[in-house]
Amino acid sequence: MQKDLGNYRKSYEKSALMEDNISDNPMELFQKWFYEVEASEGTEEPNAMTVSTLGLDGFPKNRVVLLKKYTYEGFIFYTNYESEKGKSIAENSNVCLSFFWPTMERQIIIKGNAEKIAENLSDGYFESRPEGSKLGAIVSNQSSVIPSREFLEVKLKALEKEYSGKDIERPDYWGGYIVKPLSIEFWQGRPNRLHDRIRYTLQEDFNWKIERLAP
């Protein structure tokens, strides 16, 4: 079986990324791009991002998670701390995040360090989730091997009974990570493969060095 994809070819023409039009702080450019992507037609889940970790088996692994908050400090997502990614981060906190936003022909790649956020912040976010999502976090021993789909459904039913009419507290193995960026690279597709790439790198004095990269 095979399929040749050589004819998939697109000219990127929607925007440009020029040095005279960007902020000194990459989080401000992130915010500008995020708003533009949110507003662009056809965008779904603009907050879906890939998190790449270096696994205990020595392989990098990517998976999609949802960005739930960003500030000047970094990017926050929520997960199970005992999942494969959680175990990888405990061993090596260097991670890479990436966004691909086809509606604006953009990509952002962030290298940084992941840290658990304060427990009260994870509590606050957990509290804001719908009941089904709260129970889902408790039901799923994320990334462990399970015998069947039914195993999860039976467990969920039992928990629904157990927690009926009661508050569901955040389990301590579930919470947020903040990824504090060390470099952020912005890619804007341009015609003739002459794409714009601007990389911000954090300096020792906490200023950001800005460089253009060849496409």
Among 12, 34, 78, 126, binds ligand FMN (CB under 6 A): 78
Distance CA 135, CA 164 (A): 11
Taking CB under 6 A as the rule, does residue 98 contact ligand FMN?
A: no
**Could you tell me which stretch among 76-84, 98-106, 162-170, 194-202 binds ligand FMN (CB under 6 A)?**
76-84
Nearest approach, Cβ of residue 143 and ligand FMN (Å): 3
Rounded to the nearest 5°, which phi and psi values hold at 160?
Answer: -60, -40
Cβ-based neighbours of 173, under 8 Å, separated by 6 or more? 80, 81, 82, 86
Q: Where does this chain touch ligand FMN (CB under 6 A) — which range of 8-16, 71-79, 128-136, 145-153?
A: 71-79
* Active-site hit among 129, 190, 193, 197: 193
Residues 69-94: b if buried by 16+ CB within 10 A, e if exposed: bbeeebbbbbbbbbbbbbebbeeebe
Contact between 54 and 92 under an 8 Å Cβ cutoff? The reply is yes
> Is 66 among the residues that bind ligand FMN (CB under 6 A)?
yes
Check if 129 is active-site.
Answer: no
Residue of 31, 36, 43, 65 interacting with ligand FMN (CB under 6 A): 65
Give the shortest CB-62-to-ligand FMN separation in angstroms.
9
Helical H segments across 43-201, by residue range: 84-91, 119-128, 131-139, 149-163
Q: Is 152 in the site for ligand FMN (CB under 6 A)?
A: no
Q: Report residue 135: phi and psi, to 5°.
A: -65, -35
| 84 binds ligand FMN per the rule CB under 6 A | yes
- Residues, the chain, total? 215
Q: What are the residues binding ligand FMN (CB under 6 A)?
A: 45, 48, 61, 63-66, 77-80, 83-85, 142-143
